[in-house]
A and B are shown apart, each in its own frame.
Chain A
Amino acid sequence: MGHRAAIVGAGHTRFGALDAGPRALLRSAVDEAFASVDRAVDRASVREAYLATLGFGGWQIGNSAAVLAEEAALPGIPVTRVENACASGGSAIRAAVRAVEGGAPGLVLVAGLEKMTDLPSARRRYWLGVSGDTEWERSAGLTFAGVYGLIASRYLADHPNGRDALVEVAVKNHGNGALNPKAHFQKRIERSDVERAPRVADPLGLYDCCPVSDGAAALLISAADHAREYTDRPVFIDGMGAGSDRLAVQERPELTQFGASRWAADEAFRSAGVDRADISFLEVHDCFTIAELLALEDLGFAPPGGGAEMTLAGETRRDGRLPVNPDGGLKAKGHPMGATGISQAYEVFLQLRGAAGARQLAHPHRALTHNVGGAGATATVTIYSVG
């Protein structure tokens, strides 16, 4: 089907509880993205910018994309904030690809940001919860941990080996995060750490949940035909899909399947013209450990319940048949909501160019990223290859 666009530069701040504010984080990620472009690039070649953020830092909600233009030193360019909760990043990449798809010259900047640790705990938990259904789920006392806790309870009732698999996801992703110098958590954990952790939303405990993180990531995207003006090693975007589902989980027929992810994956594979077997590794949206098992199944790599089996068989480890979240995933790398989808593409950019350092996979040639908004109300899937 051919290439639809190319990533020619990528930048990424450290994820974690950081002193830096939203402006400094944006500037740092964007500067690193420009510096990563192999040939000299004039910032004036950037035609447009998209900012993926849910709440910026919980305060500059409106017009925050104008701040991106300021910090990227791109005065006057058209900017748009893209918001699909935790899938904002993937959705912004989709918008950027469409902006260059006709073969237009120049670059489009996509940046993602969240600054979450400035806020007092109560206000932060407000921001963490605004993307779920308010009238039924929030009113019943659920945050996203609770919604995923309900989903996990059903998964474990249907698939008894799921409990062990959840533990394995946490241990694996922390192990990967330990090799990622930009990850929020860079420490290995043991199964007993996961099992003994306090319960946040039974059956999910503290180690089943991603952390609250600050961070930003940025990509420079060109039309596929123009990519080699910037680099000899572009990472191509070959397929994209997106989907949505009913906001409240109670209105969906299936509790342990995300229709939005399934439809997005089908569209992505169809548009890329490749099969599941062609994919070297996955970056999936593991905001909670259960979400990684659902992702393997929704993306078509395992039948219902098969996500647990694949995980327990070690197939998703870095040295397994299909590595999943080699950067540590949301679980260990951190989850600054708007930045997450961009961060997944950043990892693909490094891995496909052989620049992932200690966590480099052996010769990956094609990758898939999967970004979910909330508990599956929105999702994007993107498929990449290296030239």
Chain B
Amino acid sequence: VTTTTTAVNESIDLFRERFTGITREVGRRIVGHEEVVNLTVTGLLAGGHVLLEGIPGVGKTSLVHTLADVMHLTFSRIQFTPDLMPADIVGTNIVQERSHGDGGGAFFEFQPGPIFANVVLADEINRATPKTQSALLEAMQDMSVSVGKTTHKLEQPFFVLATQNPLEMEGTYPLPEAQLDRFFFKLKVLYPPEEAMHSILERTTGITDTPVQRIVDGKDILEMRHVARAVPIAKPVQSYAIRLTLGTHPDSPHNTPMVKRYVRYGASPRAAQTLVVAAKIHALNRGNAFVSADDVRAVALPALRHRILLNFEGEADEVSTDAIVNELLGGVAP
């Protein structure tokens, strides 16, 4: 028992060390968004994808760039536009000519698209047509793309960070709820505070760029994912995560008055999965080998806010799903 517990202890320490290292290095470039950085790394370690929502210029793209640098992963960026085609994302078969030495002739060869990378930045994802969005979201779900009759596996770890601008909604194609559900977290990147602005200017307006150190690679990330999923969770805590998820439904006995009034559809079971996995990572990050209700609460907002579909009254009253989740956290007993 002592041997195994020692190994567990070492795993936890290593996890924390790596996690802290990643966030520290990202924090060298990205200032004033510690919570967003933590949750983005959590989403990455959970094997999910993250949707970043924020106004232009707050550092969304820089965050993704820095993450890729720190984690020593391949990175690609796709700027979503209305004329972007699925083939532009997943790749396409192109005709190639064989050399005469090989017998000559032509053949089709798959040319991978930008999605074949460890970290993919889907910038302004809501500007592409639903057809193109679907191509990306299918890849996010299945971790593979199908071109013609051939399925191509995506290299692990595969992590998509999509961004969208909440202001300029004209000429956009908002993501449907089913596709929003495929994002592990939806994070709101807010305007940085004044103190953070000073740091940003000092670091970005000088002669030299702020260098970051590579902390982990793809293998380490996969190892960290494995460790995170090994954390045990007690059934009462798991029940709390389930009650929170069910509470987002207007016909659930666990819901709250706001849910009853403003919600049309609640979160899917995928939300409960997200809550548990994210809570495990949160617990590990605190150095715990168990999941508490506080861990679940800490990740509830980014895990549930994009999975709640408001009804007409909610849309008309401009009710925020954050307010609904916060009420739920206060109403459901842990």
Report if A and B associate in a common complex. Answer: no
Report B's interface with A, CB cutoff 8 A.
Answer: none
